[in-house]
């Protein structure tokens, strides 16, 4: 029969995944990735919210644009979480965990104009680029080139989203 105390201790045991980065790097990088992941989920859900609730003259184009962007955003969630785990950290465990860590605000309004949706997503994606750069800085501090390399691609994607949203907003005014 298993010892219940030993089982509880195993649940609390550190992961100690070998990574060559050290304990401080694991803590700081995986912590930054966890917060970044929360923001990624918040941005994904807001983008889908606006996709689902789009209306107006340019409905089809905007509906499809936001669906494309949401798909791109969601695609990086697994990479962020797995990178945190790969270096020995932990990651998000629940919607509540996301809500406690996210820096981007939700939008629960009953109605948002298409122009306001595009402007809000543009601003959120700009902030997201800043969060990506901050996380890249943490990686640079510890010499984690693998995580930094991933982040560089995500920055490029987010900057493209900002560009598209910026140009779209100029068209919808």
pLDDT digits (tens, 9 = 90+) for 28-83: 999 999 999 999 999 999 999 999 999 999 999 999 999 999 999 999 999 999 99
Place of tokens 């990574």: 19
Which range is least confidently modeled, 13-17, 30-34, 85-89, 147-151? 13-17
How confident is the model at residue 157, as a pLDDT? Answer: 98
Under DSSP, the state recorded for 105 is P
Summarised one tens digit per residue, pLDDT across range 107-120 is 999 999 999 999 99
Instruction: Break the chain into its structural domains and give their ranges.
Output: 21-172
> In this structure, which CATH number among 3.40.50.170, 1.10.3210.10, 1.20.1260.10, 3.30.565.10 belongs to the domain 21-172?
1.20.1260.10
Q: Where are the alpha helices (DSSP H) in 13-144?
A: 23-52, 59-75, 77-86, 95-101, 114-142
Structure tokens at 106: 């939700």
């Amino acid at each position: 029969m298993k010892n219940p105390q030993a089982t509880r201790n195993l649940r609390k045991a550190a992961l100690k995944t070998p990574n060559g980065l050290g304990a401080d790097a694991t803590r700081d990088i995986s912590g930054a990735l966890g917060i970044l992941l929360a923001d990624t989920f918040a941005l994904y859900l807001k983008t889908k919210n606006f996709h689902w609730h789009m209306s107006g003259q340019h409905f089809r184009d905007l509906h499809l644009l936001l669906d494309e962007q949401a798909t791109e955003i969601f695609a990086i969630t697994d990479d962020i979480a797995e990178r945190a785990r790969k270096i020995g950290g932990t990651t998000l465990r629940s919607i509540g965990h996301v809500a406690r860590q996210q820096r981007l605000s939700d939008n629960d309004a009953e109605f948002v104009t298409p122009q306001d949706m595009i402007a809000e997503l543009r601003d959120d994606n700009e902030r997201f680029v800043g969060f990506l750069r901050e996380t890249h800085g943490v990686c640079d501090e510890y010499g984690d080139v693998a995580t930094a390399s991933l982040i560089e691609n995500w920055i490029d994607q987010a900057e493209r989203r900002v560009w598209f949203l910026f140009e779209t907003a100029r068209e919808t005014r």
